[in-house]
Amino acid sequence: MDYDVIYIGSGNAAWQGGRFLRKEGLKILIIEESLFGGACANRGCNSKALLDAPYEIKALADNFEGVGKAGNFDVNWPDLMKLKRKRIAGMSVFLDNKFKEYDLDVEHGKGVIVDEHTVRVGDKTFTTDKIVICTGLKPVIPDIEGKEYLHDSTDFLDISELPKHAIIIGAGFVGMEFASILAEAGLKADVIIRGDMALKYFHQPYVQKVIEILKQKNIRFHFNQTVKEIIKDDGVAADDDGLKVLNVENSMNSDELLRDPESKIDNKAYENGFTVNCESGLSLTGDYVIASIGREANVADIGLENVGLTYTKNGIKVNGHLQTEVPNIYASGDVADTGIAKLVTVAIHHSKYLAKELLGKADEITYPVIPAVAYTLPRIATVGVPAYVADESDEYDVHTIKYGKSYSLELKNDPTSEAKVIVDKDLQIVGAEIYAADAENIANMFAFIINKKITLEELDYMIYAFPSSSSVCLYKLHNIHYEL
């Protein structure tokens, strides 16, 4: 065999574990047809974090409107994009050097599985004992008329100028996070949702808080709508609300279509405009249309049929060892259909686990509680047992910790931060929902508490740095066992 393990894909699901296997003496090949590091490093997480940061600062500064804020904090998107492109351009180079440092072999091109032990890249073939598929997910583009006019998350995160009026199809992570950026930029957007919920995996009362903030900033929401077609219409004009209502009676959310007399959306004509028509008769106009209806397994043309592997949009089915139906072929990261959240942190967990598994040092994979964050403004996070499960069970109690209201001075004049903390009958913390500017950090704190089973008494004994959002949240948290 040429190699002990071949990874198809070079993201965190691959190299994080591959380096440990190499350290143990195994010969490793990583195949990548695009940029080293995959989507997160080059087209997703890193780009989003960099582009979001100034708008996060702007939102925090706005807390002091009328009580200390002087002047405006404006974000220059073209300059920010120049920085983003410069920084992200270096990611692949950085990882290339890292792979060399770890003594990992690499091959540029599309990896195609020929048989159980052979992978082809162009006119080269490589034999291996084990194959690990790490090709991740790709954006879903709906099969509708005019789909060629749709942009995905990769496009938006590399756009030179922000659109004046975007139409966003979908309200998951991508759609809601982009809507927050556009809102803070003072621009307009319409968000079209097939169902009746945005960010359906998050605590809905907190989602509604974010929606209300976005509505106040020219973001409109249209629930229970299915997009039928997209039409390119140079010079198309929108009415005062940026809407064209063709058939309100057939709309399942006609209240959303009513004219808002306080709307800040002016009558506009877009030089390169688009009309998005929905099955209900709702018609929206704008200058940029984003598809954010989810992601699906990125496995086209990699030779799964050559070894009899099947897949769904959720990925390739694996067992508790991340092993596919072909014993020596594994799937890691987002492309693995495990039923677990598809996050970069989970991909890293998979990759490190597989290193132990392939060395014969692991039992079935297990997962700690996994925090998830929607990087809206403000953020929403969830970790452990969700509140909706606790509300429907006699095994848990839910306590609302309004630490922002009590400590607004310490939290940069933000009285809205709060958390819902789920405890079992022994008062052990088992879950949390967070709504706060830095919900991601509070979620990490709760993940540590839950995974390590730290008791309320132990938390009460500890001394924390003050002022800080974690300290004031924890201080309020301590009151749970005193109140009972």
Q: By percentage, how much of the chain surpasses pLDDT 70?
A: 91
Q: In 104-241, which ranges are continuous DSSP H helix?
A: 153-156, 173-184, 204-215
Is the confidence at residue 484, as pLDDT, over 60?
no
**What's the confidence (pLDDT) of residue 295?**
96
Q: What angle do CA 48, 51, 56 make, to 5 degrees?
A: 100
d(CA 168, CA 204): 20
Domains 3-138+295-358 and 147-291 share a fold: yes
Mean pLDDT of 426-436: 97
What pLDDT is recorded for position 245? 44
Distance CA 181, CA 58 (A): 10
Answer whether residue 255 shows pLDDT above 60: no
Q: Find the range with the poorest average confidence among 102-106, 204-208, 250-254.
A: 250-254
Q: What pLDDT score was predicted for residue 261?
A: 33
Which residues, at least 6 apart from 129, have a Cβ–Cβ distance to it below 8 Å?
A: 1, 3, 4, 5, 117, 328
Q: Which of 14-23, 153-162, 294-303, 471-480 has the lowest mean pLDDT?
A: 471-480
Domain 3-138+295-358 maps to which CATH number in 3.50.50.60, 3.20.10.10, 3.40.50.150, 3.40.50.10240? 3.50.50.60
| Residue 285 token pair | 């106009």
190, two tokens: 């319409």
Render pLDDT for 31-64 as a digit per residue (tens, 0 to 9): 999 999 999 999 999 999 999 999 999 999 999 9
CB neighbourhood size of 101 (10 A):
9
CATH of domain 378-483: 3.30.390.30
Looking at the structure, give the CATH architecture of the domain made up of residues 147-291. 3-Layer(bba) Sandwich (3.50)
Pick the closest to residue 13 from 322, 359, 444 (CA basis). Answer: 322
* Span 305-344, pLDDT tens digits: 999 999 999 999 999 999 999 999 999 999 999 999 999 9
3 state SS of 462: coil
CA gap 362, 230 in Å, rounded? 50
- Which spans in 159-224 are helix H? 173-184, 204-215
Amino acid at 38: G
What's residue 270's pLDDT? 56
Q: At residue 483, does pLDDT exceed 80? A: no
Question: Where in the chain are the domains?
Answer: 3-138+295-358, 147-291, 378-483
Q: Is residue 417 within 8 Å of residue 435, measured between CB atoms?
A: yes
Question: Residue 459: which of 440, 438, 476 has the closest Cα?
Answer: 476
Among 232, 228, 218, 158, which Cα is nearest to 190's?
218
